[in-house]
Chain A
């Protein structure tokens, strides 16, 4: 089975540009999570969805960040406008807490974003 798929794997952009990160969760999973990892702050949760509905977006840094999940198989994280401090690795994870005995989250390979 395919795991969580993220695209692009690497993104280099200039300050002020719009950036869109994409995630395809594991089929059948009903929870989706966006995390960000930096050296300074470690791994932190930005937002998560249950059944395509945003449950907690308290980790979203500011209005420049937005996330959508239009259907069960696709989610986007958008940054507009991007700033150099947004440079990080962004991970998407999916899970199915209602059915999984382990309530495991499965992480994608991440998108390494560099904002110049």
Chain B
């Protein structure tokens, strides 16, 4: 699986958009970009994933650059409950080798 680089920490004001970047310059053509988050003392939670098109669901939006070497997770209206560690993971999906390799992630703190 390709290596990812994320900022160690970010702050965001409640109600504002949180934009979390991720670099994955060695991503392969068949690797997806996944985002998970881990709220303190809980198990990781899936947020969203994409291959090359931008994606949106009820939790967030994922913007992937045209060369696929980086992406941004957008939480459009951050709340205090969005305070968590956010992990960007690139991996091949839907195969028997479906491991998740977690890096250090970004600690997002949403401030009132």
Question: Which residues of chain A have a CB within 8 Å of any CB of chain B?
Answer: 4, 31, 33, 42-45, 48, 50, 55-56, 91, 93, 95, 97-98, 100, 102-110
Q: How far is the CA of A107 from the CA of B46 in the complex (A)?
A: 9
Most A Cβ at <10 Å: residue of B43, B44, B96, B101? B43
Residues of B within 8 A of A100 (CB): 94
Could you tell me the dominant secondary structure of chain A's interface residues? strand
Question: Which residues of chain B have a CB within 8 Å of any CB of chain A?
Answer: 32, 38, 41-46, 49, 87, 93-104
Residues of A within 8 A of B104 (CB): 42
Question: What is the CB-to-nearest-CB distance from A18 to chain B, in angstroms, rounded to a whole number?
Answer: 24
Could you tell me the dominant secondary structure of chain B's interface residues? loop
Q: How far is the CA of A52 from the CA of B93 in the complex (A)?
A: 20
Residues A93 and B99 in contact in the complex (CB < 8 Å), given A42-B104, A103-B93, A103-B94: no
Among B44, B49, B96, B97, contact of A43 (Cβ-Cβ < 8 Å) = B44
Across chains A and B, the number of contacting residue pairs, with CB separation under 8 Å, is 58
Specify the chain B residue showing the minimal Cβ separation from A103: B93
Residues A110 and B43 in contact in the complex (CB < 8 Å), given A42-B104, A102-B49: yes
Residues of A within 8 A of B103 (CB): 42
CB pair B100 A45 closer than 8 Å:
yes
Residues A107 and B43 in contact in the complex (CB < 8 Å), given A42-B104, A97-B94, A102-B49: yes
CB pair B99 A48 closer than 8 Å:
yes
